[in-house]
């Protein structure tokens, strides 16, 4: 009988850098994504910033895919667009008809446990995922009524969410202000730029407004952010995972993980602008496996750097052993 596990991993997040998860803009300011929260006692509605489960799930899905691709030794340039879409975004239905290809869906889930974990669409079938990820909700006063017990005890849970929101201004300066860069341009273009600049200077001296040259102006833009030190809570529920699927989840979390905080918590990037260092966060994983008569700790968390637990080794061996079949099956299903 297959050993399947069902359980939950609670996530407790602390931001170590500013964080932005966007939804639209106002002028030149990219706004934080918010969701309505209604206090059941007062009926007051608040639009509270959060990190969507969709974003977290995509990180897990893409990490699981990259880990599988690199471990199986699938070469760059060797997959079809449909296969990449299937691995990275869950794919799309590509066939119709009343005869559902069960064999293909079953075999694909067996070969690529990361797909079975997250769910996918292939052919005319959409097997559901086994991972239910929650939004990461801000630890703040407006969310306190819906937070778990330990989060309510967190000192930040009495603070209104507005305290954690700030604006961060950035500029993007045109390189054409740099003489060394201008020398790269053809002489005629360089002269035209100089001419424009002279005209703008003359206008400015006469006290007239200049329309400016968009190519040489400094662009200012802003992001609404959550400040360093803000906290999130959330969880990942999983249902009926077999050993390979559990290992695929551990491998995905480990791939996503960027190191270890001084206190031992794994570090991750969350939200946008990770290349600018934003969204760096320390996450504590507290897992339980639902089992009767008592719950037992879950081992679903990123592995420490250099650690090679047997389940992960077995999973990676599975990927390497079936690499050719995985590639062929992905191409066929997509």
Select the residue interacting with another protein from 101, 134, 216, 228 (CB under 8 A). 134
Instruction: Name which position in 22, 34, 46, 85 contacts another protein (CB under 8 A).
Output: 85
Tell the smallest beta-carbon distance from residue 39 to another protein (Å): 9
Toward another protein, which CB reaches closer, 93 or 202?
A: 93
Beta bridge partners of 233: 12, 137
Work out whether 82 is an interface residue with another protein (CB under 8 A): yes
**Cα-Cα end-to-end distance for the chain:** 31
Shortest distance, position 42 Cβ to another protein, whole Å: 11
Q: 163 φ, ψ to 5°?
A: -65, -30
Residues 6+ apart with CB under 8 A from 174: 215, 216, 217, 218, 219
Q: How far is the CB of 15 from another protein (least distance, A)?
A: 19
Nearer to another protein, 19 or 238 (CB): 238
CA torsion, ordered 203, 209, 215, 217, to nearest 10 deg:
100
**Does 94 interact with another protein (rule: CB under 8 A)?**
yes
Comparison of 237 and 286: residue with beta carbon closer to another protein: 237
Residue reference for tokens 């005629």: 188
Q: What is the full DSSP assignment across 112-180?
A: -HHHHHH---BTTB-PPPSEEEPPEEE-SGGGGGGS-HHHHTSGGGGS-GGGGEEEEEEEE--GGGSHH
Least CB distance to another protein at residue 222 (A): 22
Half-sphere exposure of 298 (CA within 13 A, CB side): 29
Pick from 129, 266, 279, 302 the residue near another protein by CB under 8 A.
129
Could you tell me how many residues of this chain bind another protein (CB under 8 A)? 54
Binder of another protein out of 13, 30, 48, 87 (CB under 8 A): 87
CB distance 240 to 193 below 8 Å? no
Closer CB to another protein, 100 or 314, in the complex: 100
Contacts of 130 (CB under 8 A, 6+ apart): 116, 117, 119, 238, 239, 240, 241, 245
Residues 334 and 329: their CA atoms lie apart, in Å, by: 8
Contact region with another protein (CB under 8 A), list: 48-56, 190-198, 267-275, 279-287: 48-56
Under rule CB under 8 A, which residues in 213-252 are in contact with another protein?
234, 237, 239-240
**What is the chain's alpha carbon radius of gyration, rounded to the nearest angstrom?**
25
> Is position 144 an interface residue for another protein (rule: CB under 8 A)?
no
Interface residue with another protein, options 31, 34, 104, 127 (CB under 8 A): 127
User: Between residue 50 and residue 69, which ones bind another protein under the rule CB under 8 A?
Assistant: 52-54, 57, 62, 65-66, 69
35 is an interface residue for another protein by CB under 8 A: yes
Torsion angle of C-alpha atoms 103, 105, 111, 112, degrees rounded to 10: 180
CB 240 → another protein: shortest distance, Å?
A: 5
Rounded CA separation 322/314 (Å): 12
- Give whichever of 82 and 203 is closer to another protein, judged by the CB atom: 82
Question: What is the residue whose two structure tokens read 């006692």?
Answer: 41
Site for another protein in 289-328 (CB under 8 A): 290
Interacting residues toward another protein by CB under 8 A: 4, 6, 8, 23, 35-36, 38, 40, 43, 45, 52-54, 57, 62, 65-66, 69, 74, 76-85, 87-92, 94, 98, 100, 119, 127-129, 131-135, 146, 234, 237, 239-240, 290, 334
């Amino acid at each position: 009988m297959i050993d399947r596990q069902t359980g939950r991993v609670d996530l407790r997040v602390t931001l170590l850098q500013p964080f932005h998860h966007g939804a639209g803009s106002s002028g030149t300011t990219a706004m934080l994504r918010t969701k309505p929260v209604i206090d059941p006692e007062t009926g007051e509605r608040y639009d509270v910033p959060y990190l969507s489960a969709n974003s977290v799930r995509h990180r897990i899905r893409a990490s699981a895919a990259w880990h599988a691709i690199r471990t199986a030794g699938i070469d760059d340039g060797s997959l079809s667009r449909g296969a990449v879409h299937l691995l990275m975004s869950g794919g799309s239905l590509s066939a119709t008809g009343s005869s559902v290809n069960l064999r293909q869906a079953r075999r694909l889930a067996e070969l690529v446990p990361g797909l079975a974990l997250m769910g996918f669409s292939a052919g005319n079938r959409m097997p559901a995922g086994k991972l239910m990820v929650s939004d990461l909700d801000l630890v703040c006063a407006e969310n306190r009524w819906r937070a778990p017990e330990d989060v309510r005890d967190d000192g930040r849970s009495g603070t209104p969410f507005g305290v954690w929101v700030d604006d961060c201004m950035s500029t993007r300066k045109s390189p054409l202000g740099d003489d060394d860069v201008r020398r790269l341009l053809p002489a005629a273009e360089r002269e035209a730029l100089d001419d424009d600049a002279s005209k703008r200077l003359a206008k400015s001296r006469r006290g007239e407004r200049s329309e400016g040259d968009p190519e040489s102006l400094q662009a200012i833009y802003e992001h609404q952010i959550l400040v360093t030190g803000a906290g999130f809570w959330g969880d990942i529920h999983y249902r009926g995972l077999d050993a390979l699927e559990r290992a695929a989840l551990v491998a995905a979390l480990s791939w996503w993980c960027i190191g270890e905080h001084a206190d031992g918590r794994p570090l991750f990037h969350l939200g946008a602008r990770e290349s600018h260092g934003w969204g760096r966060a320390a996450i504590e994983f507290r897992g339980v496996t639902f089992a009767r008569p008592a719950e037992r700790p879950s081992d679903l968390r990123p592995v420490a750097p250099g650690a090679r637990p047997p389940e992960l080794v077995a999973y990676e061996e599975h990927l390497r052993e079936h690499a050719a079949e995985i590639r062929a099956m992905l191409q066929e299903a997509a």
